[in-house]
């Protein structure tokens, strides 16, 4: 068999590629400007290497905040340019204001202009190259599914909607009770005997097994999969692929095997990690309450004019181990908003006042929850606490929903920074997948990622 694979960058590889070449392109541009023009503000040498390190850190930090490493943003030319402008401007401003570890401000202010233009053009040129040449179908990953016919559409959409460079070329029907030929199919149905030929002719690099039925993997199919594996092709299980690409736990596919499949993160019982997180939570809460105190005159005035009612609002929520607590928020809805009973909040909900909309979009309405964090009822990061009436309703329809209560609920979380406001039971299922992913992979690095994404949500005014 002749292996004919095309180049494909995995999600993690693309993010590393973007980060490395962001820094390299900027350093090259600054070196070029220094050689061609009378530019001496930023000089790369062994004696001031820390200038370069600080600049690289700033580029990566502010690039993360302004979503330059969000692959959907990086693949879109307009959104990419927007991120480049924000990242360049913020990086230059903070770099100029950083003492000791950055160059002394020049007397000739044209040096600052050169500095900014070099960084902007370097990032713009590299990102334009990425959009035109690397974020294209040339680097698409082609795969084959092994699954039941009635699963195909749902499984394919679950993968391709998240990663535009992931293309399912065809599928092998693993339903042993359904062998008839289908004229109209969502995806090309590959005969088992044609598997190896199809893989070679279509430059397929991976076979994904999504079938839950062992009798669907016949001896003939099994032998062909072993032959592909021996020739360097990757054979993977669907739930692993789904989790890796979407960064969600596919609870709808793991069924009764959930607790075997779902090993909780060691961080959930790591006392050093939990102590470190608790200290940070107290510090962040004190900082948040201080900021809320500074903003209190604006909040009081806005509430008096826009809400015309009580400033604070309390509500029962479910916390760790299913215990109920009172969550504290700035009120954003009018009086008697739930006179007809509890309902999900929706986008453009008519019950939300004009000032309440500002509070929600800016996330200022959540500031009083720092008190809940200080009391130990909530964490800074974790699944958002839900109301008892909705927990009971969703838990009856959705397996494993109450698993999210094994850790404290959070002010922000993996579901909040990756998915919009939940309006329906289907939305709750998707948010549950994100919450379980966080519980499974909980770590300092994932917490940092969530904090950066939360800053992005606030800066781009995406709260709901």
Whether 20 maps to a domain, the answer reads yes
Where does the pLDDT of residue 245 fall: very low under 50, low under 70, confident under 90, or very high at 90 and above? confident
pLDDT above 70 (res 335): no
| pLDDT value of residue 421 | 65
What average pLDDT does this structure show over 288-306?
89
| pLDDT value of residue 397 | 80
Examine the fold and report which residue of 118, 134, 150 is the final residue of a domain before the chain moves on: 134
101 and 201 together in one domain: no
171-185, 191-205, 363-377: least confident range: 171-185
217 and 284 together in one domain: no
Name which of 275, 279, 299 is nearest 287 in CA terms.
Answer: 279
Whether 302 maps to a domain, the answer reads yes
The partner residues of 379 in beta bridges, in order of sequence, read 410
**Percent residues over pLDDT 90 in the chain:** 37
Whether 417 maps to a domain, the answer reads yes
145 and 114 together in one domain: no
More confident: 62 or 255: 62
306 and 393 together in one domain: yes
What average pLDDT does this structure show over 75-89?
92
Question: Which range has the top average pLDDT, 85-89, 301-305, 459-463?
Answer: 85-89
Where does the pLDDT of residue 40 fall: very low under 50, low under 70, confident under 90, or very high at 90 and above? confident
296 and 327 together in one domain: yes
Whether 181 maps to a domain, the answer reads yes
Examine the fold and report which residue of 99, 134, 169 is the final residue of a domain before the chain moves on: 134
d(CA 317, CA 367): 16
What average pLDDT does this structure show over 313-323?
92
Structure tokens at 207: 């076979």
| pLDDT value of residue 259 | 62
Three-class HEC string of the chain:
CCCCCCCCCCHHHHHHHHHHHHHHHHHHHHHHHHHHCCCCCCCCCHHHHHHHHHHHHHHHHHHHHCCCCCHHHHCCHHHHHHHHHHHHHHHHHHHHHCCCCCCCCCCCCHHHHHHHHHHHHHHHHHHHHHHHHHCCHHHCEEEEEEECHHHHHHHHHHHHCCCCCEEEEEEEECCCCCCCCCCCCCCCECCHHHHHHHHHHCCCCEEEECCCCHHHCCHHHHHHHHHHHHCCCEEEEHHHHHHHHHCCCCHHHHHHHHHHHCCCCHHHCCHHHHHHHHHHHHHHHHHHHHHHHHHHHHHHHHHHHHHCCCCEEEEEEECHHHCEEEEEEECCECCCCCCCCCCCCCCCCCCECHHHHHHHHHCHHHCCHHHHHHCCCCEEECCCCCCHHHHHHHHHHCCCHHHHHHCCCEEECHHHHHCCCCCCHHHHHHHHHHHHHHHHHCCHHHHHHHHHHHHHHHHCCCCC
pLDDT above 80 (res 181): no
Examine the fold and report which residue of 116, 134, 152 is the final residue of a domain before the chain moves on: 134
Question: Which range has the top average pLDDT, 191-200, 231-240, 344-353, 366-375?
Answer: 366-375
pLDDT above 80 (res 25): yes
91 and 158 together in one domain: no
Question: Which range has the top average pLDDT, 3-7, 37-41, 59-63?
Answer: 59-63
47 and 161 together in one domain: no
| pLDDT value of residue 23 | 96
pLDDT above 60 (res 177): no
Whether 259 maps to a domain, the answer reads no
Whether 254 maps to a domain, the answer reads no
224 and 308 together in one domain: no
Q: Kindly report the CATH number assigned to the domain that includes residue 220.
A: 3.40.50.11060
Burial class (CB in 10 A: 0-12, 13-18, 19+), 130: buried
| pLDDT value of residue 363 | 87
d(CA 199, CA 204): 5
The partner residues of 341 in beta bridges, in order of sequence, read none
Q: What sign for the dihedral angle of Cα 344, 349, 350, 356?
A: positive
Residues 128-146 have pLDDT tens digits of 999 888 876 666 888 999 9
| pLDDT value of residue 7 | 59
CB 398 within 8 A of CB 423: no
Domain hosting 43: range is: 11-134
pLDDT above 60 (res 2): no
124 and 158 together in one domain: no
Whether 255 maps to a domain, the answer reads no
pLDDT above 90 (res 286): yes
Overall number of domains in the chain: 3
CB 209 within 8 A of CB 237: yes
pLDDT above 90 (res 154): no
| pLDDT value of residue 60 | 95
| pLDDT value of residue 93 | 95
298 and 370 together in one domain: yes
225 and 334 together in one domain: no
pLDDT above 90 (res 280): yes
424 and 293 together in one domain: yes
More confident: 264 or 397: 397
113-122, 188-197, 338-347, 353-362: least confident range: 338-347
Whether 1 maps to a domain, the answer reads no
């Amino acid at each position: 068999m002749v292996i004919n694979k095309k180049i494909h960058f995995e999600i993690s590889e693309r993010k590393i590629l973007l980060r490395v070449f962001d820094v390299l392109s900027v350093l090259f541009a600054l070196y070029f400007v220094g050689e061609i023009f009378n530019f001496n503000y930023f000089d790369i040498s062994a004696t001031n290497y820390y200038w370069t390190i600080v600049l690289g850190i700033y580029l990566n930090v502010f690039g993360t905040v302004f979503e330059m490493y969000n692959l959907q943003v990086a693949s879109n030319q307009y959104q990419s340019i927007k991120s480049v402008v924000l990242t360049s401007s913020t990086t230059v401003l903070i770099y100029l204001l950083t003492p000791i570890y950055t160059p002394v401000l020049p007397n000739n202010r044209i040096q600052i202009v050169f500095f900014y233009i070099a960084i902007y053009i370097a990032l713009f040129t590299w990102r334009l190259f990425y959009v035109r040449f690397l974020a294209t179908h040339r680097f698409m990953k082609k795969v084959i599914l092994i699954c039941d016919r009635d699963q195909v559409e749902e499984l394919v959409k679950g993968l391709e909607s998240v990663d535009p460079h992931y293309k399912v070329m065809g599928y092998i029907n693993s339903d042993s009770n359904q062998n008839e030929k289908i004229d109209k199919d969502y995806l090309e149905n590959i005969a088992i005997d044609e598997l190896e030929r199809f893989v070679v002719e279509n430059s397929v690099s991976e076979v994904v097994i999504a079938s839950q039925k062992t009798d669907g993997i016949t001896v003939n199919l099994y032998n062909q999969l072993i032959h592909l594996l021996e020739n360097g092709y990757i054979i993977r299980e669907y739930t692993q692929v789904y989790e890796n690409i979407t960064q969600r736990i596919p609870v709808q596919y793991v069924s009764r095997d959930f607790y075997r499949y779902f090993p909780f993160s060691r961080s959930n019982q790591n006392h050093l990690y939990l102590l470190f997180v608790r200290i940070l939570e107290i510090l962040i809460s004190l900082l948040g309450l201080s900021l809320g105190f500074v903003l209190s005159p604006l909040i009081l005035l806005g509430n008096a004019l826009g809400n015309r009612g009580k400033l604070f609002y309390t509500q029962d929520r479910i916390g760790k181990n299913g215990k109920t607590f009172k969550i504290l928020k700035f009120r954003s809805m009018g009086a008697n908003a739930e006179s007809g009973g509890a309902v999900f909040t929706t986008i453009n909900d008519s019950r939300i006042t004009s000032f309440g909309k500002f509070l929600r979009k800016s996330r200022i309405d959540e500031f009083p929850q720092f008190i809940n964090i200080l009391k130990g009822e909530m964490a800074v990061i974790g699944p958002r606490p839900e109301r008892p009436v909705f927990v009971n309703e969703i838990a009856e329809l959705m397996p494993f929903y109450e698993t999210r209560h094994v850790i404290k609920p959070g002010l922000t979380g993996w579901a909040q920074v990756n998915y919009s406001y939940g309006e329906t039971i289907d939305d709750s299922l998707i948010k549950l997948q994100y919450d379980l992913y966080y519980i499974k992979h909980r770590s300092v690095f994932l917490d940092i990622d969530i904090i950066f994404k939360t800053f992005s949500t606030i800066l781009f005014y995406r709260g709901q």
